[in-house]
Amino acid sequence: MGILICPVCREKLGISGKTYTCANRHSFDIARSGYVNLLLSKHTGKTVHGDNKIMVQARRDFLEKGYYSPLRESLCENVQEGVILDAGCGEGYYTNGILNALPNAEIYGIDISKTAVDMASKRTKKITFATASVFNIPVADSSVDTLVTIFSPYCSAEFLRVLKINGIMIMAIPSENHLLELKQAVYDTPYKNKVKPYELDGFGLVSKKRITYNFTLESNKDIQSLFSMTPYFYRTNYTQSKKLAELENLTTTADFELLIYRKF
Ligand SMILES: C[S@@+](CC[C@H](N)C(=O)[O-])C[C@H]1O[C@@H](n2cnc3c(N)ncnc32)[C@H](O)[C@@H]1O
Ligand SMILES: [Zn+2]
C-alpha cells in the first residue's frame, strides 16, 4: 500500500491502470515517463514551477560526471530500509543512488518542477515520482521513515507531519567554502556561504558530517553547467558572464554538510 494521498481531499490514493484515484473519485493520470502530477495550481505559489529545463539539464550533465559522488555515497551510507521520501528530488540523481543502495526500500521523490520529475522518472520505474510542492506534500501523516532534503526548500510543518515518530531527516547543505574558487573567478568580492544554526524545531540533531574535497572542471561546458546550478546564475552581469565564458578549466572546493536529524 502506497503513502500517496489525494491533493484535493487528502484521502488515500490507489492505482487503477494508469491512473491514481481516491475514494472521492478524484483522478490523476500517470504520465508516459511514469510520474504523477499531484500539484494543484493553488499550491505552486510564487515558486511557479521550480527549476526550468536549462537548469535541470545542467544539473543532470554535471551530476552524471560524478563530481558530487562523495556526497551521494555519504547519503547512501546513512539511509535505512523502509519508506523514503526525497523532498525536492530534482532530476533524481540522489534518489536513484538511494535505490541502488537499498533496492527493496519503498522510495518516493517529489519536486515542483515537471521537467525535473519527468527526467527523474525516466531513470527507473522502481521509484514513485510526483510533481508536488514540499509545502503541500501529498503523502499521508506519519508514513515516512526517512525524509531526504538535498539543497531543496525546507518546510518544517510538512516534514514533521509526514515523518513517523523517531523518523530520520537527512539534509545536505552547502558549507562555508563551497565553490569558493568558482565565485572568486567571477566576482571581485566573493563571499563565503553563511551556515545557519543547526537547531530545527521538532527535530534533534543526531550527527553532522562535513564533506570537503577539491575537484577539477575540465571544460567550459562543465563550468557553465555547475554555475547554472547555483543561485548566482541569475545574479550575474555581462562582465561576470564574460569572465566565466573565458575559463577553460577550474579547480574548486566542494564543501557540504550532511546533517542527520531525528523527529522527536
Ligand atoms: C538545488 S535543486 C536540488 C535538486 C536535487 N535535490 C539535487 O540536489 O540534485 C532544488 C530543487 O528544488 C525544487 N523546488 C523548488 N521549490 C520547490 C517546492 N516548493 N517544492 C518542491 N520542490 C521545489 C526545484 O525544482 C529543484 O529541483
Ligand atoms: Zn480526492
Model confidence over 3-49: pLDDT tens digits?
999 999 999 999 999 999 999 999 999 999 999 999 987 776 655 56
Q: What is the pTM of this model?
A: 0.95
CA 225 vs. chain centroid, Å, equals 17
Report, as an integer, the average pLDDT of 75-80: 96
CATH 3.40.640.10 fits 32-176+191-212+254-263, yes or no: no
Closest CA to 131 of 12, 68, 189, 51: 51
Q: Could you give the CA distance from residue 159 to residue 250 in angstroms, rounded to a whole number?
A: 37
Report, as an integer, the average pLDDT of 230-243: 83
Ligand 1 pocket test target in 112, 114, 121, 162 with most atoms within 8 Å of CB: 112
- The confidence band for 72, taking pLDDT boundaries of 50, 70 and 90, is very high
Which percentage of the chain shows pLDDT scores above 70?
97
Residue 159, φ and ψ in degrees, nearest 5? -65, -40
DSSP 8-state symbol, 260: E
**Please, what's the largest Cα pairwise distance for the chain?**
59
Question: In angstroms, what is the span from residue 23 Cα to ligand 1's centroid?
Answer: 30
Question: Is the CB of residue 89 below 6 angstroms from any atom belonging to ligand 1?
Answer: yes
